[in-house]
Structure 1
Amino acid sequence: MSSHPPAYNRRWICWAAVLGCGSFTLGCAEGPVPELRSLNPWVTKDWNADEAYAPTYHRKVQDLADLRNRAPSMTPEEHQRFSAEIVAELQKEEAVVMRTELVKTLATLPTEQSRAAIQMAANDADAYVRRQACLALAKNPDATSLQILGQVLANDNDTDVRLVAAKSLGQFRDPQATQALAVAIDDNNPALQHTAMDSLKSVTGKDYGYSASAWREYVQGGTPTPPPAPSLAQQFKENWWWW
């Protein structure tokens, strides 16, 4: 008996394959890789049609990116006007991605209204927005921003947010930043410990490596002896969590 399927079966298999490919291609206008949707002329056509009625998400994100690029050359009056508009959008925006983009844009507009909105965003319900707020706070290193970042580092329930807060505190040259970072020296998360110690190096100008005991003594007012340079084996042990 032949091991090959009958001719009519082979024809049906071929047609099924063709129809399956057609369904895969036509089933989603954006194609199997959404990131390439801007290369799809049908999707671009849909965007253009949608924008005849209201700005699409794609258009909004692009407009905000353009605004961030133009912000350094804007006048103070323009900063004020755009700050007011973006803050109003942020207050009513429900989409997490858009709130994140709005906070990122506010960081490029040096106004009191922008700073106040960014500070409020540090308490946003979503961790992505809070992380972006921490990055934005570091661009305006004043006393209020320092206090908020310290609170985030000490109290936020998301480790990634705390990591960004610890890194952002490294932008401050203030004894209060040293005390704010102290809470992470003995944290159970090695990544957070190391990030806090890196920021302590930037804030204080001291270098006690990744010695928790030395940094603990320093923030308590002591003058610890700098530890010897770690061996390659010790460096690997201390940085195992990167691998």
Structure 2
Amino acid sequence: MVAVVITACCGVMGCQDGPMYAMKNVNPYYRWHEWQSDEAFGTTEHERRQQLADLAENIGGYDDAVQTKWLSALNHVMDADESAEMRRLAVMAAGNVDGQPALQILEKGMDDGSVKVRMQACRALGNHTTDENVLLLASAVGSETSTDVKHAAMRALQDQSSPKAVEALRLALSDRDPSTQNLAIASLRGATGKDYGDDPETWIAALDGQPVEERPTRFADRLRELF
């Protein structure tokens, strides 16, 4: 009878890991131990990429104890993995978790040598409205050498209504790059809930407290908000 059950399980699940395969897939504790084993023996980049992508999608639903274990593994990825894509996925996963351990991973992401990792860290920081996140993003707007990363930080600040976010975007209005100025205006519309048009100088005057009338909402703008 036991042999029949095992044979049936293999038929349904393809004998990928014996009759325990389904349980390992469902239970994150098994997945954690599986990760440790894989790290010890090494896995292909494709396998690691898929596992990290799955983790990024699901980690927000795990309980605190399991999240803590996974965050430890993600820290290891940030410290030791030579693949920028693996580090980017680690940052993406950490961005779906609240708390200081996750923030430490995002801080590492902001200091990473890869532009795409730093961009992902900006997007991840924008997922949560905290003073620490705003400070990291504002710092990137002011000091980041990559325009792509700077723009990612500015986009992330558009949903942060704190004075520090507004001040960082205000400084970006004086940038020599027109694309940076335009993005600063778009992000300020989100951060302030105001619309002073498309001229950077007008926005600077308004943010400095000078009397400036808001631009009337146009029909096209209403359509964009709806869709």
TM-score w.r.t. the length of structure 2 is: 0.74
In 1, Cα distance between the equivalents of 2:75 and 2:145? 26
Cα distance in 2 for partners of 1:151, 1:227 equals 30
Q: Which residue of 193, 204, 210 maps to 1:222?
A: 210
1:167 aligned onto 2:150: no
Aligned to 1:203: 191
Match of 1:136 among 121, 124, 127: 124
Separation of aligned partners in 2, 1:160 and 1:220: 28
2:36 paired residue number? none
Residue number in structure 2 paired with 1:109: 97
Runs of 4+, deviation exceeding 3 Å: 227-230
Q: Which residue of 2 aligns with 1:3?
A: none
Instruction: Provide, for residues 88-123 of structure 1, a one-character-per-residue CA deviation record: whole Å limited to 9, x for no partner.
Output: 221111221211111111112323211112023212
Name structure 2 gaps, 5 residues minimum.
1-40, 219-227
Aligned to 1:153: 141
SS at match of 2:173: coil
The answer (yes or no) to whether the contact 1:90–1:99 under 8 Å persists in 2 is yes
Matches within 5 A, 1:175-214: 175-214=163-202
SS in 1 for 2:183: helix
Q: Give the number of the structure whose alpha-carbon radius of gyration is greater.
A: 1
Distance 1:75 1:228, change over 3 A: closer
**Alignment RMSD (CA, Å):** 2.1
1:24-103 to 2 correspondences below 5 Å? 54-103=42-91
Is 1:122 equivalent to 2:106 in the alignment?
Answer: no
SS at match of 1:187: coil
Instruction: Report percent identity of matched pairs.
Output: 25
Is the Cα–Cα contact under 8 Å of residues 119 and 145 in structure 1 kept in the other structure? Answer: no
CA deviations over 1:34-84 (Å, ceiling 9, x no partner): xxxxxxxxxxxxxxxxxxx63110001110111122223211111111111
- Alignment check: 8 A CA contact 1:79 1:111 kept: no
1:150-194 Cα shifts (integer Å, max 9, x gaps): 111111111111110111111211122111111111212222111
Question: Which consecutive residues of structure 1, in runs of 5 or more, have no partner in the other structure?
Answer: 1-52, 231-243
Distance 1:228 1:107 in 2: 37
Is the contact between residue 166 and residue 196 of structure 1 (CA under 8 Å) also seen in structure 2? yes
TM-score normalised per structure 1? 0.69
Q: CA deviation at 1:228?
A: 6.8
